[in-house]
């Protein structure tokens, strides 16, 4: 591959990351050699000179993009060369293109295309006419065109000749790479996106009402608005128009810029008007259309990138939520008509009992349900009760509360657990393999219990897109979203570490260097031969070769094995370093581990050698102090307010405890125990400006919130983290009205949908939309009352 004039790929990435080129080259060599980002970040710090996982992920993405750019550059060079049109100047332009957009702009005139009007005109011999009129505006166009009339070539009269000449110049103007690049950036900086409701769609498209009469500059549009409007257009509710800027005329207009580029000016010469009209025609019929497509793609891409980043950040927080640990747990999957599904799992997550109870309507067998749960809890030494947060969750929470009250000797603790994606797991192939003889409806209760014990270990069994912490996911690029979420899961799993003797195949498959097939082989070997007693025993697993072992060994834990180091994150390749530390300290390995005073007396520099530098030695000492430590936070539970079980129980001014379920660009959703999440708008999170809601809260956080407003008919609850905020005055019956936006002002309210169980799409105006409240202003309470919040009710019957 030929190196582009803009410099090497490694050099470009180094400049973008603000690091040395040799660091990037080392990372690229490792990635090309089959190493994963977690492995490089943890165990190859000397090679990359301390590049962290975030830098490595960015490097990996840019490497992919720039290599795709180079492949496309090579293909374009080959194409133009085959056409015999590759001049030195054109080659320099192609090699100098730094983005895919610029590369395609340069290639456009040479890109094979269907037979155009301009090509037909050239075949008719009209190119000299076009060039002559452009080069000498003093020539009268009609007089000049008369010489090119030729019926045999399809040129019937002078006007037909001029039409052909205009087609040639229009194509030339619209394929000028520098001009297109200049106009594209001008349109991006000055233009805006406008939306109008289609006639007769006001009622059917009410969920898009914020965009019925709306316009906002391209650069100011946040991702959720772009995606909401694109969805409204897709559902044939909205018409979207890309407005380049306020109408202008003369040299400063777009048409004027096109004309100036080719030396066209109206100086009263015979050809000036025809040429000016041609420049205007090129802008309106070709260039504007082309730029419109580009800007749409840019808007969508930027919106997708932001939405993917939000989804990835929320997923990371959810996966790294505090685990309850190895404690016997009773999982309750609530329901009314179909009953409450019950599953008891022991400390290792093994299912030891299942049942179905019917405490709620229509059966109302409450006392029988309490008795059954008490018996199961006593029989299996249950410590925790995990309650799914879907339909009938508060009623089931009350049932668990009575169980705890009537049987204090059991010392039970109840916890509300998100059941997003549990139904997806229940019907999955892995669930069928893992729980083959269990009814699908009971598998959900098992998943709820296990995800309380260890959210990470259980949630990796579910497609990340079904976990329910994203925005507009069905409007996003499947490849881009999957790649990002898979990277998050990989980073989380390897950051925590995996017990190889208890981990499921889906969890093992997320470990560095382990494929799905290899994970199945590890489980099969474990089942056939018993628990692994050492990391070296992993080498006996079928198809687990030296490279896979190198990549995975440090992230796999073996507790109680033959070597105490196997329970730590110290990589086997670094065991000789630890042996030297043991020799220096005069201890055994087992007595050195956890011995803070001895470990801190050792000088890291004394153990540096040609293979292991100071960063790795420092990491080893830190790990030996707290071997196998879990980086996740301590386990805590939220307490929902008694008597507040449905949205009608909520009143403005209440201060409630809740759990953050999702964080979007405009605020955070909080479960306060009424089946309907409320929303804390970003403007109600702090007294100071908040750029990113995730700087304040993350999914899984337990927070105290104050209720600002409730709109029962539309199922909207407005909350604030500022407990001294004043609640809104009672709204008129039927809920507040909705502000409509006109002109260039942003709407006060933006639609967002939070996923419910099973992984429905997030989205501003999708089914069951959830609305964000307006930004802070002097009429905050009144605006919140008018706008409100909404979202899908969770759970199933």
Q: What is the pLDDT of residues 532-580, one digit of tens each?
A: 999 999 999 999 999 999 999 999 999 999 999 999 999 999 999 999 9
CA 82 to chain centre: 42
What pLDDT does 245 receive?
84
Give the model's confidence band at 249: pLDDT under 50 very low, under 70 low, under 90 confident, else very high.
confident
Is 773 within 8 Å of 681 (Cβ atoms)? yes
**Least trusted range by pLDDT, from 71-85, 147-161, 249-263, 398-412:** 249-263
What pLDDT does 727 receive?
84
What pLDDT does 161 receive?
97
Largest CA distance in the chain: 107
748 pLDDT higher than 50? no
22 pLDDT higher than 60? yes
Region 647-787: CATH code = 2.40.50.140
Q: What is the pLDDT of residues 441-458, one digit of tens each?
A: 999 999 999 999 999 999
735 pLDDT higher than 70? no
Architecture of domain 329-453: 2-Layer Sandwich (3.30)
Share of the chain above pLDDT 90, in %: 77
Structure tokens at 593: 């581990």
Is 598 within 8 Å of 592 (Cβ atoms)? yes
The secondary element (H helix, E strand) that includes residue 681 is strand 678-681
Region 9-110: CATH code = 1.10.10.650
Sequence ranges of the domains in the chain = 9-110, 329-453, 647-787
765 pLDDT higher than 90? no
What pLDDT does 769 receive?
33
Residue, of 498 and 751, whose pLDDT is higher: 498
3 pLDDT higher than 60? no
Give the model's confidence band at 777: pLDDT under 50 very low, under 70 low, under 90 confident, else very high.
very low
Across 723-746, average pLDDT: 52
From the CA atom positions of the chain, what is the Rg in Å? 33
Closest to 717 in 3D by CA, of 776, 663, 793: 793
Closest to 680 in 3D by CA, of 649, 696, 745, 316: 696
What pLDDT does 713 receive?
86
Across 764-792, average pLDDT: 35
* Distance, CA of 501 to CA of 561 (rounded, Å): 10
Q: What is the pLDDT of residues 32-91, one digit of tens each?
A: 999 999 999 999 999 999 999 999 999 999 999 999 999 999 999 999 999 999 999 999
What pLDDT does 763 receive?
38
Which residues are CB-neighbours of 642 under 8 A, at least 6 positions away? none
What pLDDT does 98 receive?
93
What pLDDT does 325 receive?
93
511 pLDDT higher than 90? yes
* Distance, CA of 722 to CA of 292 (rounded, Å): 43
Closest to 324 in 3D by CA, of 744, 700, 797: 700
195 pLDDT higher than 70? yes
Across 732-748, average pLDDT: 37
791 pLDDT higher than 90? no
Share of the chain above pLDDT 70, in %: 90
Q: CA-CA distances (angstroms) from residue 569 to 22, 110, 564, 698?
A: 27, 56, 11, 27
CA 770 to chain centre: 18
Across 747-755, average pLDDT: 35
The secondary element (H helix, E strand) that includes residue 360 is none
What pLDDT does 729 receive?
63
């Amino acid at each position: 591959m030929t190196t582009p004039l803009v410099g090497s790929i490694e050099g470009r990435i180094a400049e973008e990351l603000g690091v040395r080129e040799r660091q990037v080259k080392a990372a690229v060599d490792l990635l090309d050699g089959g190493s994963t980002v977690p492995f490089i970040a943890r165990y190859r710090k000397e090679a990359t000179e301390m590049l962290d996982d975030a830098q490595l992920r960015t490097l990996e993405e840019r490497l992919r993009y720039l290599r795709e750019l180079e492949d496309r550059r090579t293909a374009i060079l080959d194409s133009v060369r085959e056409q015999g049109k590759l001049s030195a100047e054109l080659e320099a332009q192609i090699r100098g293109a730094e983005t895919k957009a610029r590369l395609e702009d340069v290639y456009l005139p040479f890109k094979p295309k269907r037979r155009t009007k301009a090509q037909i005109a050239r075949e008719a011999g009209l190119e000299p006419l076009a060039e002559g009129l452009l080069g000498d505006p003093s020539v009268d166009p009609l007089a000049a065109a008369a010489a090119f009339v030729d019926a045999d070539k399809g040129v019937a009269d002078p006007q037909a000749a001029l039409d052909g000449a205009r087609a040639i110049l229009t194509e030339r103007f619209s394929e000028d790479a520098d001009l297109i690049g200049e106009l594209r950036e001008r349109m991006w900086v000055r233009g805006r996106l406008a939306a109008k409701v289609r006639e007769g769609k006001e009622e059917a498209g009410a969920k898009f009402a914020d965009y019925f009469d709306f316009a906002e500059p391209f650069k100011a549009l946040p991702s959720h608005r772009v995606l909401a409007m694109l969805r409204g257009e897709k559902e044939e509710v909205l018409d979207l128009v890309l407005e380049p800027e306020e109408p202008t005329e003369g040299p400063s207009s777009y048409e004027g810029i096109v004309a100036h580029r080719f030396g066209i000016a109206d100086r009263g010469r015979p050809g000036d008007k025809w040429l000016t009209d041609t420049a205007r025609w090129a802008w309106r019929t070709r260039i504007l259309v082309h730029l419109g497509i580009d800007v749409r793609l840019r808007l969508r891409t930027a919106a997708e990138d932001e939405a993917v980043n939000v989804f990835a950040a929320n997923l990371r927080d959810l996966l790294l939520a505090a685990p309850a640990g190895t404690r016997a747990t009773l999982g309750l999957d609530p329901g009314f008509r179909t009953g409450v599904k019950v599953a008891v799992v022991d400390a290792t997550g093994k299912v030891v009992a299942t049942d179905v109870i019917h405490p709620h309507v229509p059966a109302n067998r409450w006392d029988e349900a309490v008795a059954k749960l008490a018996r199961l809890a006593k029989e299996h030494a249950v410590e925790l009760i995990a309650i799914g947060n879907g339909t009938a969750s508060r009623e089931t929470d009350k049932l668990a509360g009575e169980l705890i009250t009537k049987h204090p000797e059991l010392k039970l603790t109840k916890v509300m657990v998100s059941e997003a994606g549990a139904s997806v797991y229940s019907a999955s192939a892995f669930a069928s393999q893992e729980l083959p003889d269990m009814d699908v409806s009971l598998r959900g209760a098992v998943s709820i219990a296990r995800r309380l014990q260890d959210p990470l270990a259980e949630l990796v069994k579910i497609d990340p897109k079904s976990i329910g912490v994203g925005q507009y996911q069905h409007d996003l690029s499947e490849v881009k979203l999957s790649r990002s979420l898979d990277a998050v899961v990989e980073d989380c799993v390897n950051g925590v570490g995996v017990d190889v003797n208890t981990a499921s195949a889906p969890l093992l498959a997320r470990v560095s260097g382990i494929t799905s097939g290899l994970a199945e082989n590890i489980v099969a070997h474990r089942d056939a031969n018993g628990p692994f007693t050492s990391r070296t025993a992993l080498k006996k697993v079928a198809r687990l070769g030296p490279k896979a072992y190198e990549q995975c060994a440090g992230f796999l834990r073996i507790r109680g094995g033959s070597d105490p180091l196997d329970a730590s994150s110290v990589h086997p390749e670094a065991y000789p370093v630890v042996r030297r530390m043991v020799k220096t300290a005069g201890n055994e390995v087992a007595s050195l581990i956890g011995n803070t005073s001895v470990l801190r007396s050792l000088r890291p520099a004394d153990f540096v050698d040609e293979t292991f530098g100071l960063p790795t030695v420092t990491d080893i000492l830190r790990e030996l102090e707290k071997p196998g430590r879990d980086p996740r936070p301590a386990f805590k539970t939220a307490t929902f307010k008694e008597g507040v079980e449905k949205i009608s129980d909520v009143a403005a001014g209440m201060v409630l405890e809740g759990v953050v379920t999702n964080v979007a660009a405009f605020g955070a959703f909080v479960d306060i125990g009424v089946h309907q999440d409320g929303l804390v708008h970003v403007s109600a999170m702090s007294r100071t400006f908040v750029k990113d809601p995730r700087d304040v809260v993350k999914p899984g956080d337990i927070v105290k919130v104050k209720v600002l407003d409730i709109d029962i008919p539309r199922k909207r609850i407005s909350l604030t983290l500022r407990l001294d905020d004043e609640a809104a005055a009672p709204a008129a019956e039927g809920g507040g009205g909705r502000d409509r936006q006109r002109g260039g002002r942003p709407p006060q309210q933006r639609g967002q949908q939070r996923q419910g169980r099973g992984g429905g799409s997030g989205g501003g105006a999708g089914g069951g939309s959830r609305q964000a409240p307006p930004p802070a202003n002097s009429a905050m309470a009144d605006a919140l009352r008018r706008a409100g919040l909404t979202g899908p009710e969770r759970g199933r019957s």
